[in-house]
Amino acid sequence: AVSALINCIAIPAALLSMRVVGDDGLGRRNLQTLSFFLIAVSYFILSVFFGNLRAMGATTSLVMLFALLFFCLNFGAQMTTYILPQESFPPDVRASLNGFAAASGKAGAVVGAYSFAPMARMHGLGTTFATCGIFGVIGLAS
């Protein structure tokens, strides 16, 4: 039930992204930057508070933190990942480079998904969340 509730957070995040991406004041690139910033902050918050909240049995607070993270993951960058390549690449190579960009993103997702659990076992969830936050900061720079 909690998982379904957290997954429902993706809907308002996508709707807000659609609203903001159409807003010429913010722009698509700035939306992606804002999204990576929010992702990094969410992971760093989790890295700091996860252990203590888990030890205290503060399940509601943990669910709220994960809902915040899930909202940030589905806001902005989730949408601009598909929009920016269409606008960035020249028409004569757009299809090839868009495919390459999509494949690169999928490869990164596979590496992240398969390395998360082993890293959490070896270094703990706090360190793993902090590492995810660092990758969010790297996304800011790109």
DSSP assignment string, 90-112: -TTTHHHHHHHHHHHHHHHHHHH
* Residue-level pLDDT, tens digit, the chain, 142 residues: 778 887 888 889 988 888 888 766 688 888 888 899 999 999 999 999 998 888 888 888 888 898 899 898 888 888 888 888 888 889 899 889 989 988 988 999 999 999 999 999 999 999 999 999 999 999 888 7
Q: What is the pLDDT of residue 23?
A: 64
Provide the token pair at 16: 């807000």
Say how far apart CA 67 and CA 73 lie, in whole Å. 10
pLDDT number for residue 123: 96
CA distance 79 to 2: 25
Residue from 13, 109, 122 nearest 69 by CA = 13
Q: What is the pLDDT of residue 77?
A: 83
User: Do residues 46 and 129 touch, judged by C-beta distance below 8 A?
Assistant: yes
Prediction pTM value = 0.85
pLDDT attached to residue 129 = 95
**Neighbour tally for 62: CB within 10 Å:** 17
